[in-house]
Amino acid sequence: MDNDIVLKAENLHKSYGKVKVLKGVSLEIRRGETKVIMGPSGAGKSTLLRCLNLLTKPDKGRVWLENVELTNPKVNINKVRAKIGFVFQEFNLFHHLTALENVMIGLTKVKKLPKKEALRKARETLLTVHITEDLWDKYPAQLSGGQKQRVAIARALAMDPVVMLYDEPTSALDPQLVGEVLQVIKELARKGVTSLIVTHEVDFALEIADEIMFMNDGKIVEKGPPGEVIFNPKHEVTRKFFEKISKPYGVGKYGVLERISPSII
Amino acid sequence: MVFWKEFLPALFSGIVATLKLLAVAMPASVVLGVLLGTVRVYGGKIVKTIATAVVVVFRGFPLTVTLLILFFGLADFHINLTPYWAAVLGFTLCGGSYQSEYIRGAIRSIDKGQSVAAKALGMSKTQEIIYIILPQALRRALPGISNELIYMVKYSSLAFIIGVPEMFSIAKTFNSQWFMPIEVFSILAIMYLAMTTIVTLGFKLLEDKLKIPSTI
* Residue range B111-157, pLDDT digits in tens: 999 999 999 999 999 999 999 999 999 999 999 999 999 999 999 99
Q: Which of B6, B29, B7, B13 is nearest to B153 (CA)?
A: B29
What DSSP letter does each residue of B107-134 carry, written as one string?
A: HHHS-HHHHHHHHHTT--HHHIIIIIIH
Interface contact flag, B121 A88, Cβ < 8 Å: no
Q: Quick one: average pLDDT of A11-27?
A: 94
Q: Which of B166, B145, B146 is nearest to B21 (CA)?
A: B166
Interface membership of B131 toward A (CB under 8 Å): yes
Question: Residue A54 — φ and ψ, nearest 5°?
Answer: 65, 20
Output the average pLDDT for chain B.
95
Tell me the nearest-neighbour CA distance from B126 into chain A, angstroms.
Answer: 11
pLDDT of residue B216: 63
Among chain A residues, CA nearest to B135 = A96
**Which residue of B114, B115, B121, B207 to mutate against A (max A Cβ within 10 Å)?**
B121
Output the average pLDDT for chain A.
91
Q: Quick one: average pLDDT of A186-199?
A: 94
pLDDT in tens, B137-146: 999 999 999 9
Question: Is the predicted ipTM greater than 0.85, yes or no?
Answer: yes
- pLDDT band per the 50, 70, 90 thresholds, residue A248: low
pTM of this prediction? 0.89
Task: Domain A33-45+76-263: give its CATH code.
Answer: 3.40.50.300
**Domains of chain A by residue range:** 33-45+76-263
Domain spanning B2-210: CATH 1.10.3720.10: yes
What DSSP letter does each residue of B12-53 carry, written as one string?
A: HHHHHHHHHHHHHHHHHHHHHHHHHHHHHHH--HHHHHHHHH
Q: Taking the CB of residue A117, how many other CB atoms lie within 10 A of it?
A: 12
- Please report residues of B whose CB lies closer than 8 A to that of A88: 113, 116-117, 120
Interface contact flag, A110 B127, Cβ < 8 Å: yes
Q: Quick one: average pLDDT of B46-74?
A: 95
**Domains of chain B by residue range:** 2-210
- Please report residues of A whose CB lies closer than 8 A to that of B123: 78, 106, 109-110
- pLDDT band per the 50, 70, 90 thresholds, residue A217: very high
pLDDT in tens, B17-44: 999 999 999 999 999 999 999 999 999 9
pLDDT of residue A262: 47
Comparing CB atoms, the residue among B121, B214, B215 nearest residue A110 is B121
Checking if the pLDDT of A252 tops 60, the result is: no
